[in-house]
Amino acid sequence: MSENPTTNDSSEIKNPGPISIWLSEQGLANNSLEPDHLNVETIEVAPNDLIAIVSLLKEKGFDYLQCQGGYDEGPGKNLVSFYHLISMNEIVKNHADSSHEKCELKEVRLKVFLNRKDTPKLPSLYKIFRGADWQERETYDMFGIYFEGHPHPKRLLMPEDWKGWPLRKDYIQPDFYEMQDAY
């Protein structure tokens, strides 16, 4: 991947996985990261490349956004938005073949590292995967990651006038919250 100051160099691996190699062959910059605890290939993607990579993966058969979420690496560190894509066609095909005892799952995780000092922004995946709607809203609500182009960019869990992002590790909880009159 080109110079990306938010990359966590310690998690990069030297032997990229097959999806990372394929994306590079398609001319899309990415960094192969260590596989997750289930040995799912994990790939770092730059914010500007997210839409192109997800669109291409969807064309390749990753037709289901199983999960989108976020996490905070710690005070002063990156905010991370992650995406878990799977191929539902592979599940159906493998499950229908009775000779397979175990259903092989075709899946990949994408991670986008964002500098918390800037206003963290990403393009919304809503136009590609409608299921991203509430998942992106929750990530915005809890971590303050803005999803540009989202059709309903407002809080999902916290009151509309809530200040701050409750799941950021540097969040300071207010002493009290005054409920607005519902009438």
Compute how many other C-beta atoms are within 10 angstroms of the C-beta atom of residue 119.
10
Under DSSP, the state recorded for 156 is S
157 pLDDT above the threshold of 90: yes
- Mean pLDDT over 102-114 rounds to 86
The whole-angstrom separation of Cα 139 and Cα 92 is 30
The domain containing residue 74 runs over which residues? 9-148
Residue 181 lies in a domain: no
More confident residue, 182 or 133: 133
Cα-based angle 59, 67, 14 (whole degrees, multiple of 5): 70
Confidence (pLDDT) at 89: 77
Q: Give the separation between CA 133 and CA 150, rounded to whole angstroms.
A: 7
Q: Is residue 180 part of a domain?
A: no
- The amino acid occupying position 20 is S
Identify the pLDDT of residue 88. 84
> Model confidence at 1, in pLDDT bands (50, 70, 90)?
very low
Q: What would the pLDDT profile of 15-49 be if each residue is shown by its tens digit?
A: 899 999 999 999 999 999 999 999 999 999 999 99
Packed helices 50-60 and 18-25: angle between N→C axes, nearest 10 degrees? 110
Q: What is the mean pLDDT of residues 122-129?
A: 98
Decide if 171 is inside a domain: no
> What pLDDT digit, counting tens, does each position of 165-180 carry?
999 999 988 776 666 6
How many structural domains does the chain have?
Answer: 1
Residue 120 makes CB contacts below 8 A (sequence gap 6+) with 79, 114, 143, 144, 145, 146
